[in-house]
Amino acid sequence: MQLRQLGNSDLHISPIGIGAWAMGGAGWAFSWSKQEDSDSISAIHAALDLGVNWIDTAAVYGLGHSEEVVSKALAAYRGPRPLVFTKCERAWDSTGQIIKSLAPASIRKECEESLRRLNVDTIDLYQIHWPEPDEDIEEGWETLGQLQKEGKVRWIGVSNFNVAQLERIMKIAPVTSLQPPYSLIRREVEPEVLPFVRKNNIGVIAYSPMGSGMLTGKMTRERVQSLPADDWRIRSPMFQEPSLTRNLEIASKVIQLAEKLGRSPGEVAIGYVLQNPAITGAIVGFRNAEQVTSLKGVMDIALTADEMAYLSGR
């Protein structure tokens, strides 16, 4: 498998990484509903066996539980240790209420707690989860730079930042990576953000390349309506009108091309994202080993210019 260098770092990552959002399980504001830890661990092991060499999680996923599941999976794995990426800025109080903070004391506490839950001495990539509060991003980024100098984290990046925000923090310390949402149903980063990061040697690890399940070939209007009440997608504009009809039409095009190519729809959807030269890797939220198997061909998929144009509507 061909590895890709992540921005200005010495990290070389596989084209796809393991996304651990859903592995946080139920019981928090942005849950994907119930998730068995045993299924999560099996999915992680299956992906690592295929050559995937990085895992992306966050402290807030499951209010710490996702990081604990990742730790358990790695402790039980006998192969090479993957890179572990996590995030700060989303903390929570004793009631489970999520707190948005870029205060230095909060980030330092979050970092120490992530190190403990993950059972690692150093975090390979530490990211600011959201640029919130916006007025504090410089202070927060300066703290990440200090953590890097202290050896708590190897490399530092951000998620969900726009160009203006990137320009502000680049004056303080180099940005290794950006993690934006990017898929056929969310292409907002194509005109401005992706050209900017490519020009400035900032790696990109795209999240939700399958549109949070919309582009897997299994999502229908009926399935959307039957999502569990604690699945965050039931409240997402992407799964409601007027976006729902548009997104299902895009999903239909993905399915049609996948059938023509003898691929799974998920492989085609992720292939579109990986084909962009600004993208270093894509985060895939596996929930069981079977899903890993269904997407194992994604790392060698190559779409033609005509196929890309068909998918993008050009």
Q: CA of 221: how far to CAs of 74, 83, 227, 247, 312, in Å?
A: 37, 37, 10, 10, 22
pLDDT of 1 above 80: no
Total-model pTM: 0.96
| pLDDT given at position 314 | 65
Q: How does pLDDT run across 66-118, given as a tens digit for each residue?
A: 999 999 999 999 999 999 999 999 999 999 999 999 999 999 999 999 999 99
Distance CA 45, CA 47 (A): 5
Higher pLDDT, 295 or 102: 102
For residue 4, list its beta bridge partners: 13
Confirm whether 310 is a catalytic residue. Answer: no
Q: What residues contact 72, with CB distance under 8 A and at least 6 apart?
A: 37, 41
The vertex-67 CA angle with 297 and 278, nearest 5°, equals: 45
**Mapping DSSP to helix (H, G, I), strand (E, B) and coil, where does residue 225 land?**
helix
How does the average pLDDT of the chain come out, rounded?
97
Joined tokens for residue 17: 């990484």
Distance CA 233, CA 124 (A): 30
CATH number for region 4-312: 3.20.20.100
Residue 177: Cβ within 10 Å count:
25
> Which of 61, 126, 207, 272 is labelled catalytic?
61
